[in-house]
């Protein structure tokens, strides 16, 4: 079987049905009959169009030999997206659903290849909005070089879900010789991020509108597999990469400290932070260390290659503002701390609850 060529539209083997002629989704579109086929063809199949999806069997069929060309281990992940609002500055739930799963594969050193897309739709949602979100998924998939090869659609009654929830699962292949893990940090290692922190969390909160704050902050939602490829090409010594999504930078730092039994210390002066985001947090009493990102990774690299890693990140369009923000210390084990700009030192703990609900 051919490898999909994302971005290139191929005609499916089955003729697409006529399409949906009503403005809003009804329970009939989830009934398993013609209306459902109309919706799937009109909204999803036409947007995702690729040869693995085209037969529309109950499963995508992928050649093992093709997979093996990319590395020696399969990576498999799943993520669900319930962001509110569905569209926000810098992205929408469709783009987020692709980038989130692509990034979860890429941070493990995998080349993301195939994704599934399952949509749970609340009756009453505009079909045009679904078309737009599906196109956004297709664009994000093309940008990330992955294909959406299988999926599912359910429609639920009013109030049973909030407009639209999407689950994407993804498979990728981990390149040989790469073994990234949170347990590998050792005292002396450097900690890096690939740019400005907290944009996604701030953009979502502002987009909800209930704070009546106007900002120009856009979500940083982006597929990071290209950036991570460039990093690992230049710096195969990198020990650990994780995307700093829910819970923000602070959560990843704690995960490193806990898994490796080390201390982690960052320098507030080194943190890349947009002035607007800093101001936004100031007004609302939020801490940017805990704000979600959808296009930022935290990297642990041996000190000897830290500068090389930073240079590799900075050379990529999604890493222009990369910085070395701190280092791994010998203790206290499990504890992340920060030298404050003010000259003090504070602990950076995990959040107990959610700083903000439904950000991804």
Binding site residues, another protein, CB under 8 A: 210-211, 275, 278-279, 282, 287, 332, 337-349, 352-353
| DSSP three-state, residue 318 | helix
Q: Cis omega before residue 274 (within 30°)?
A: no
Nearer to another protein, 32 or 343 (CB): 343
Q: Report, in Å, the least distance between residue 345 CB and another protein.
A: 4
Q: 8 exposed, middle or buried (CB, 10 Å; 0-12, 13-18, 19+)?
A: exposed
Of the pair 199, 294, the CB lying nearest another protein is at 199
The whole-angstrom separation of Cα 301 and Cα 257 is 14
CB of 199 to another protein, least distance (A): 17
Least distance (Å) between residue 341 CB and another protein: 6
CA pair distance 131, 149, nearest whole angstrom: 17
Per the CB < 8 A criterion, the answer to whether 301 and 189 are in contact is yes
**Tokens describing residue 226:** 């290209």
| Between 61 and 346, CB nearer to another protein | 346
Closer to another protein by CB, 181 or 279: give it. 279
**Contact by Cβ (8 Å): 133, 93:** yes
Min. distance of Cβ 274 from another protein in angstroms? 11
Q: How far apart are CA 287 and CA 296, in angstroms?
A: 17
* Nearest one of 89, 84, 91, 79 to 116, comparing CA atoms: 79
Query: Residue 243 Cβ, how far from another protein at the closest point, in Å?
Result: 24
Q: Which CB atom, from 21 or from 342, has the smaller least distance to another protein? A: 342
């Amino acid at each position: 079987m051919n490898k999909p060529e994302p971005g290139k539209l191929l005609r499916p083997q089955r003729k697409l049905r006529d399409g949906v002629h009503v403005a809003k989704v009804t329970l009939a579109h989830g009934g398993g009959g013609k209306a459902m086929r109309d919706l799937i063809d009109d909204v999803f199949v036409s947007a995702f169009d690729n040869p693995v999806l085209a037969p529309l069997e109950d499963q995508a069929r992928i050649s093992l030999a093709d997979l093996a060309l990319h590395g020696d281990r399969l990576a498999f992940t799943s993520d669900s997206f319930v962001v509110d609002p569905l569209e926000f500055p810098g992205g929408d739930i469709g783009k987020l659903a692709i980038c989130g799963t692509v990034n979860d594969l890429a941070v493990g050193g995998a080349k993301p290849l195939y994704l599934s897309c399952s949509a749970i739709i609340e009756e009453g949602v505009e079909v045009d909005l679904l078309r737009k979100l599906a196109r956004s998924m297709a664009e994000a998939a093309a940008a990330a070089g992955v294909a959406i090869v299988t999926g599912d659609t359910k429609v639920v009654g009013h109030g049973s879900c909030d407009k639209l929830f999407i689950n994407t699962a993804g498979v990728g292949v981990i390149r040989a010789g790469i073994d990234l893990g949170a347990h590998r940090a050792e005292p002396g290692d450097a900690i890096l991020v690939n740019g400005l922190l907290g944009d996604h969390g701030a953009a979502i909160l502002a987009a909800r509108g209930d704070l009546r704050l106007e900002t120009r902050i856009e979500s940083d939602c982006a597929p990071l597999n290209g950036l991570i490829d460039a990093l690992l090409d230049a710096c195969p010594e990198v020990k650990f990469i994780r995307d700093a999504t829910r819970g923000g930078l602070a959560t990843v730092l704690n995960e490193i400290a806990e898994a490796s039994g080390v201390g982690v210390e960052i320098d507030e002066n080194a943190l890349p932070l947009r002035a607007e985001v800093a101001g936004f947090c100031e007004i609302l009493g939020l801490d940017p260390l805990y704000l979600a990102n959808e296009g930022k990774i935290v990297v642990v690299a041996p000190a000897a290659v830290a500068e090389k890693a930073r240079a590799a990140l900075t050379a990529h369009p999604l890493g222009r503002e990369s910085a070395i923000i701190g280092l791994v210390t010998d203790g206290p084990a499990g504890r992340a701390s920060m030298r404050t700009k003010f000259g003090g030192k504070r602990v950076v703990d995990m959040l107990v609850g959610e700083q903000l609900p439904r950000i991804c």
